[in-house]
Structure 1
Amino acid sequence: METQNILKFPDYFMIIGYFVLMLAIGLYFYRSMKGIKEYFSGSNNIPWWLSGVSFYMSSFSVMAFITYPSLCYRFGFVGVTLLWVAVPATLFSTIFLAHKWRRARIESPVEYLEHRYSPVLRQLFSWQGVPTKVIDDGIKLFAIGTFISVSLGFDIKWSMVGAGGIMLLYTFMGGLWAVAVTDFIQFIILTAAVIIILPLSLIRAGGISQVLDGLPEGFMNLTSPEYGWGYVIYLVVMYTLAWSSVNWALIQRYYCVPTERDAVKTGLSVVFLYIIGPPLMFIPAIVGTQLLPGLTDAGTIYPALCRLLLPAGMLGLMISAMFAATMSTLSGDYNVCANVLTHDVYRRLLRPAASQRELVLVGRLMTLLVGLLALGAALLMAYQAKAEDLFNIMVTLFSIATAPVAIPMILGLLSRSFTERSALWGFLLGLLLGLVLFGFSYYPHPFSFLFLEWTPGKDQIAFFGHAASLEMVLFLATSLTTFFTMVFITAISPMKQTEKDHIEPFLQRLQIPIGTLPEEMDSETVKSGVSPFRIVGVSLIIIAVMMMAVLPWSGNWTTFILNAIIGVFLVIVGLALALSGRSKPLVAE
Structure 2
Amino acid sequence: MGETSVEYVVIGCYLAVLVGVGMVFRRFNENVSDYFRNGCKGTWWLVGSSAFMTAFSAWTFSGAAGAAYEAGWSVLVIYLANSVGFAINGLFLAKWFRQIRAITGPEVIRLRFGISTQQFYAWMSFVMQTLYSSLHLLGLAIFCSAVFGYKIEQVIVVVGAVVLIYSLIGGSWAVTATDFLQTLILIPITILVGVLCLVKLGGVGALFQGIQNMGLSSAYGVFNAPDQFPLRAYTYAWAIAMLLKNVIGYNTLTSAQRYFLVKDGREAQKAAWLGFVLMTAGAFIWFIPPMTARLLFHAEVMAVDIPKAAEAAYAIASLNVLPLGMTGLMVVAMFAATMSSMDSGLNRNAAIFTNDIYPTLCRLFGRAAMQGKSLMRLGQVFSAVFGVCIVSIATYFANTEGRGVFEHMLNIGALLALPMAVPALMGLFIRTSPSWAAIVTVCVTLIPSAFGFFSAELFGETWSFQQKVFINLTVGIVVYLLTMPFWNRTPEVYRRQAQDFFDRMLTPVDFEKEIGIPNDLRQLKIIGSFAAVIGGVICTLVLLPNPLIGRLGILFVGGFVLGVGGVFIWLGKRSELEAPRIEAAD
TM-score tier (shorter): 0.7 to 0.9
Matches within 5 A, 1:248-397: 251-294=256-299, 295-296=301-302, 297-350=309-362, 353-381=369-397, 394=410, 396-397=411-412
Q: How many angstroms apart in 1 are the aligned matches of 2:266 and 2:412?
A: 34
Name the aligned partner's letter for residue 412 of structure 1. Answer: G
Q: Return the offset for 1:334.
A: 0.7
The residue that corresponds to 2:480 in the other structure is: 486
Distance 2:497 2:368 in 1: 20
Cα distance in 1, alignment partners of residues 402 and 65 from structure 2: 17
Equivalent pair of 1:102/1:254 in contact (CA under 8 Å): yes
Query: Which residue number corresponds to residue 539 of structure 2?
Result: 548
How far 1:579 moved relative to its partner? Answer: 4.3
Q: Which residue among 46, 60, 65 is the counterpart of 1:64?
A: 60
Match of 1:3 in 2: none
Instruction: Give the Cα–Cα distance (whole angstroms) in 1 for the partners of residues 473 and 412 of structure 2.
Output: 14
- Cα displacement (A) at 1:59: 0.8
Report the Cα distance in structure 2 between the residues aligned to 1:22 and 1:476, rounded to whole angstroms: 42
Which residue of the partner structure matches residue 580 of structure 2?
Answer: none
Q: 1:241 aligns with which of 239, 248, 268?
A: 248
| 1:573 aligned partner, one-letter code | V
- The one-letter amino acid of 1:535's match is I
Instruction: State the Cα deviation string for residues 138-188 of structure 1 (Å, max 9, x = none).
Output: 221111111332344232122211111111111111111101110111111
1:203 match: 199
Greater shift, 542-551 or 483-492, is seen at: 483-492
- Measured in 1, the distance between the counterparts of 2:6 and 2:217 equals 41
The C-alpha deviation readout for 1:297-356, integer Å capped at 9, x for no partner, is 111111112221222211111111111110111111111111111111113542665232
User: What's the secondary structure of 1:24's corresponding residue?
Assistant: helix
SS at match of 1:550: helix
Secondary structure, aligned partner of 1:60:
coil
Q: Report the counterpart of residue 86 of structure 1 in structure 2.
A: 82
Query: What residue in structure 2 maps to residue 43 of structure 1?
Result: 39
Alignment of 1:58-207 (within 5 A): 58-207=54-203
Opposite residue 262 of structure 2, the aligned amino acid is: V
Q: Which has the higher helix share?
A: 2
Residue aligning to 1:428: 443
1:51 touches 1:253 (CA, 8 Å); kept in 2? yes
Secondary structure (helix, strand or coil) at the match of 2:535 reads helix
CA distance in 2, matches of 1:361, 1:346: 13
CA contact (8 A) 1:544 1:568 kept: yes
Distance 1:524 1:180, change over 3 A: closer
Match of 2:431 in 1: 416
Count of residue correspondences: 552
Q: Secondary structure, in 3 states, of the residue corresponding to 1:281?
A: coil
Secondary structure of 1:532's aligned partner: helix
Does structure 1 retain, via aligned residues, the 8 Å contact 2:524–2:569?
yes
Structure 1 pair 441/192, CA: closer, same or farther in 2 (3 Å)?
same
Q: Is the 8 A contact 2:54 2:344 kept in 1?
A: yes
**Higher mean Cα deviation, 35-44 or 224-233?**
224-233
* Segment drifting more, 158-167 vs 545-554: 545-554
Residue 159 to residue 106, structure 1, CA distance change in 2 (3 Å): same
Q: CA deviation at 1:406?
A: 1.5
Kindly provide the CA deviation profile for residues 503-562 of structure 1, in whole angstroms up to 9, marking residues without a partner as x: 2222221221111xxxx5538715258832122111111222221211122511112123
Match of 2:584 in 1: none
- Structure-2 separation of matches of 1:352 and 1:252: 27
AA partner of residue 345 (structure 2):
D
Structure 2: runs of 5+ lacking an equivalent: 303-308, 578-586
Cα deviation, residue 73, structure 1? 1.4
In the alignment, what sits opposite 2:503?
A: 508
| Deviation at residue 137 of structure 1 after TM alignment | 1.6
The Cα of 1:92 is off from its aligned counterpart by 3.1
Residue identity opposite 1:356 in structure 2: G
Equivalent of 2:26, from 30, 33, 49? 30
Structure 1: stretches of 5+ with no match in the other structure: 1-5, 448-452, 462-468
Query: Alignment partner of 1:222: what SS?
Result: coil
The equivalent residue for 1:466 is: none
Distance 1:218 1:436 in 2: 33
Which residue of 231, 236, 239 corresponds with 2:238?
Answer: 231
2:559 equivalent to 1:568 = yes
In 1: Cα distance, 2:426 partner to 2:545 partner: 54
Whole-Å separation in 1 of the counterparts to 2:402 and 2:512: 55
| Aligned equivalents of 1:151, 1:25: Cα separation in 2 | 29
**What secondary structure, in the 3-state scheme, does the structure 1 residue paired with 2:460 have?**
strand
The SS at the match of 1:76 is: helix
The CA distance in 2 between the partners of 1:58 and 1:69, in whole Å, is 18
Q: Larger deviation: 300-309 or 49-58?
A: 300-309
Residue identity matched to 2:418: A
What is the aligned partner in structure 1 of residue 582 from structure 2? Answer: none
Match of 1:578 in 2: 569
Q: Which SS does the other structure have where 1:214 is aligned?
A: helix
Q: Equivalences for 1:526-545 in 2 at 5 Å? A: 526-528=517-519, 531-545=522-536
What is the alpha-carbon distance in structure 2 between the residues aligned to residue 199 and residue 145 of structure 1?
27
| Aligned equivalents of 1:115, 1:196: Cα separation in 2 | 46
Report the Cα distance in structure 1 between the residues aligned to 2:219 and 2:51, rounded to whole angstroms. 31
Q: 1-side partners of 2:110 and 2:245: how far apart? A: 25
How far is the alpha carbon of 1:390 from its aligned partner? 6.4
Q: SS at 2:217's partner residue?
A: coil
- SS of residue in 1 equivalent to 2:333: helix
Q: 1:484 to 1:9 in 2, by over 3 A?
A: same
Amino acid of the structure 2 residue aligned with 1:103: Q
Q: How does 1:405-484 map to 2 (within 5 A)?
A: 405-435=420-450, 437-438=452-453, 440-441=454-455, 443=457, 453-455=459-461, 460-461=462-463, 469=464, 471-484=465-478
More displaced stretch, 496-505 vs 281-290? 496-505
Q: Distance in 2 between matches of 1:317 and 1:354?
A: 43
Match of 2:306 in 1: none
The residue type paired with residue 17 of structure 1 is C
- 2:535 and 2:50 map into 1 onto residues whose CA distance is 21
2-side partners of 1:392 and 1:555: how far apart?
44
Cα contact 2:441–2:476 (8 A) shared by 1: yes
Task: Verify the 8 A CA contact 1:67 1:391 in the aligned structure 2.
Answer: no
1:580, CA displacement in angstroms? 3.8
Deviation at 1:492, TM superposition (A): 4.6
Cα 1:492–1:33, aligned 2, differ >3 Å: closer, same or farther?
A: closer
Superposition map of 1:513-528 within 5 A: 513-515=508-510, 521-522=512-513, 525-528=516-519
Q: CA RMSD in A?
A: 2.7
Q: 1:521 to 1:214 in 2, by over 3 A?
A: closer
85-94 or 176-185, which moves further after superposition?
A: 85-94
Shift in alpha-carbon separation, 1:68–1:28, aligned structure 2, 3 A: same
* CA–CA distance in structure 1, aligned partners of residues 475 and 515 of structure 2: 48
Distance 1:322 1:263 in 2: 27
Matched residues in 2 for 1:331 and 1:534: separation? 23
Residue in structure 2 matched with residue 465 of structure 1 by the alignment: none
Contact kept? 1:198, 1:280, Cα under 8 Å? yes
Q: Kindly provide the CA deviation profile for residues 461-493 of structure 1, in whole angstroms up to 9, marking residues without a partner as x.
A: 3xxxxxxx1x44444443333322221122255
Greater alpha carbon shift after TM alignment, 41-50 vs 265-274: 265-274
Mapped contact 1:7–1:152 kept (Cα < 8 A): no
Query: What's the offset of the Cα at 1:90?
Result: 2.3
Tell me the amino acid that sits aligned with residue 140 of structure 2.
I
1:402 to 413, 417, 441: 417
